[in-house]
Chains A and B, each alone.
Chain A
Amino acid sequence: MAQWGVTETKMGSHRGVLVRAGFLLICALNASNVCADEPKSTPENTIHVQLAAPVPPQKFPKAPKFFISEVIDRSGNPQPMLVLRAKGGVFLDRQPTQITREAVEQSLKAADLLAADAASADLVLQIYVFHFGLAQGSGLDYFGKVEFSVMVKNLKTEESQQIQAAGTCIANAAVRKKNIQKNVQANIEGALEDAVRNLVRGTQLREAVASLLKGNASAPVAAPGNGMAFEHGDGSGSKNFKSESQTR
């Protein structure tokens, strides 16, 4: 009787080992699958996104000079350069913040609205990128979306206004990897161009410029160093920073 009990225990332990081994094998296979699915950036799957041509901005009554102080990523995307995960992935060659900065600067520069530095600028722009790349589409196409908000600040009066800009583009889906990359690139470039146009030709920017530069003629010339007030290493600038809506 006692012998039978021992045999039963032995068999039970064998079964346990087998179950454990099976479980470990499944885990190992899953882990290797996950690693295989994770796309990696290579020159073949990397795209270069840029504006085909600068977007002509609207005409201002008195052309102001803009300077882009910084571009901040607020998308919360852990992999901002990965735009498409399927089919080995499609990657951007630069950070979305850099692409956005280049696109806006290119358009402002072409219209001679870009200042060399913050001190010589009438208005300083701080761009927050909320979305850059593909968004959820119908599945039959690629839906490109670029969305950012811009804090327009007059350093002399310390007043600021926030404006929104968004661009969308819909491109056909593709099956072949080469065509997928081409379509995704065209799609994101279209959305970027649309977003930049929405910014530089938008009524929001016109109104912001009009209201922020209204008091410029009557306002006293900025004290030395005030022109660079936005670059606070200790973050004190943000404490003194008041938007127009807050002032109201």
Chain B
Amino acid sequence: MRLLAIVLLAALVIAPSLAAKDAEPIYKHVEAKHFTRVEGVELSPAFTDYLYAELRNELAKTKMFTQVIGEGEAVEDADAPNSLVIEGVITEYKKGNRAADAIIGYGVGARSLKIDANVTRRSDHQNMEAIKVHVKVSPRWNEQVMAKAAAHQIANEVKKGLKEKAKG
């Protein structure tokens, strides 16, 4: 009985530390760039800035990278093979319809944003992952909330893809 208790306690102590090991950074640096937009996408310039900031914030939360660096920052040559760059394009933005959202609901009249992002390795520009994100939010919320949702989704996709790649 005592032995069983000890084993259980040991399992409780060891399990969290084993789980924490999974969260160790795999890559040294990741550089998020300001996303560009195709012609016809009517979003304020502040949106791109906020998306960039929020993406960096969300990438830091994934704990896959030792450091999330800003756009245009230099990386040591030795670290380049272990560093990634995220670039993206906002391909579509629909303003949504407040009336339709209020009367019908269920996603009708929602604001919609589509983003294509690419994750490449810094040293040889090899494509590591291609991400397509489609975000829908209520038209009552401002653009920044949409950027927050998009950044969260991109960071999750990046994390998922890189983890799968690391597993082989």
Contacts and interface: CB of A to CB of B under 8 A. Distances in A.
A is bound by B: yes
Contacts, number: 57
A170 B53 contact: yes
A136 B49 CA distance: 10
A145 B72 contact: no
B73 A139 contact: no
Interface residues of A, number: 22
Contact of B144 (A137, A168, A204): A137
Given A197-B73, A203-B73, A203-B74, A138 B145 contact: yes
Interface of A: 58, 135-140, 143, 145, 166-170, 194, 197-198, 201-204, 206
A197 B74 CA distance: 10
Q: How large is the interface on B (under 10, 10 to 19, 20 to 34, 35 or more residues)?
A: 10 to 19
A206 B74 contact: yes
Interface string B26-54: 00000000000000000000100110111
B57 A170 contact: yes
Interface string B13-36: 000000000000000000000000
Contacts of B72: 198, 202-204
Nearest to B68: A194
B53 A168 contact: yes
Q: Is the interface of B mostly helix, strand, loop or mixed?
A: helix
B70 interface: yes
Q: Is the interface of A mostly helix, strand, loop or mixed?
A: mixed
Given A167-B70, A198-B73, A206-B74, A136 B144 contact: yes
8 contacts: A136-B50, A140-B145, A170-B53, A170-B57, A197-B69, A198-B71, A201-B74, A202-B73
A138 B73 contact: no
Interface string B56-95: 1100000000000111111000000000000000000000
